[in-house]
Homo-oligomer: A and B are copies of this chain.
Amino acid sequence: MGSFKIILGDCRDKLSEVNDNSVDLIFTSPPYADQRKKTYGGVHPDQYVEWFLPISQELLRVLTPTGTFILNIKERVVNGERHTYVLDLIKAMRGQGWLWTEEFIWHKKNSYPGKWPNRFRDAWERLLQFNKSRSFHMYQDEVMLPIGDWAKSRLSNLSETDKIRDNSKVESGFGKNVSNWVGRERVYPTNVVHLSTETANKNHSAAFPQALPAWFIRLFTKPGDTVLDPFMGSGTTVMAALEMQRKAIGIEIVPEYYDLVAEQLSTYQEPLL
């Protein structure tokens, strides 16, 4: 269990309590435009970029040069059209000095059913990866997946010759690409993360399953590193970080959420960072 620090308040003010170049991963899901009206005031899509930029400026300050910022976001439909505030935000953050390194997709396995005359169910969200430099830390081996059916069927059809060739470590000849995978049980994932939305039985539902931050925490940090979530909510990111021996910082504006996380964390050993 890593150490942690949670802060009650608006992250627009409270990020000043976080040191420069001290955070290895920021994983957060800010309130989407017009959502969570009672907390951050229900930011209108047209003002979303303006609202977010001071925050991303502070995040740029606190992130280490080799760190990563993962932003979970999806644009609303406004008047029958996808609003462009996410596109505008990406461009504006690049203007602040962020590099838009990659866009992962969270493909939600089990979204609520339904359709509308002009539209199907929205079953995916963006996970935008931003960095301060091109040489960021990435621990790809930590998120390998069990090998899939693709390899099973492909490899089961290998000839005996192919298998022997692999076992004897012959370095050349065709078949090498395929035989590379014999005996391996895990493969690298892609930039599509395919997880279910967790319908936890708990009273306080999270916007995303813990497996989602956990995946990125494994990928971009090592034990002892620091993970920050400036929109902590019910603490999903913080809990994932602590369970994986990372340090965690969380900021939350709603006292009820803050108290809930504080209570959950009170059982742990190292309350202060």
Contacts and interface: CB of A to CB of B under 8 A. Distances in A.
A84 B191 CA distance: 18
A142 interface: no
Contact of A188 (B81, B102, B120): B120
Interface string A95-107: 0000111110101
Contact of A122 (B100, B115, B188, B190): B190
B105 A107 contact: yes
Report the interface size class on chain A.
35 or more
A101 B82 contact: yes
Contacts of A100: 81-82, 84
B90 A188 contact: no
Contact of A191 (B87, B99, B120, B191): B120
Contact of A81 (B80, B99, B118): B99
A121 interface: yes
B111 A82 contact: no
A87 B80 contact: no
A103 B90 contact: no
Contacts of A189: 120-121
Given A82-B101, A138-B117, A123 B191 contact: yes
Contacts of A113: 151, 181, 187-188
For the complex of A and B, list the 9 residue pairs with the smallest distance between their C-beta atoms, beginning with the closest.
Answer: A123-B190, A80-B134, A87-B87, A121-B190, A115-B188, A113-B187, A123-B192, A81-B99, A120-B191
Given A88-B91, A102-B119, A124-B192, 7 more contacts: A81-B134, A82-B102, A87-B91, A101-B118, A105-B105, A121-B190, A123-B191
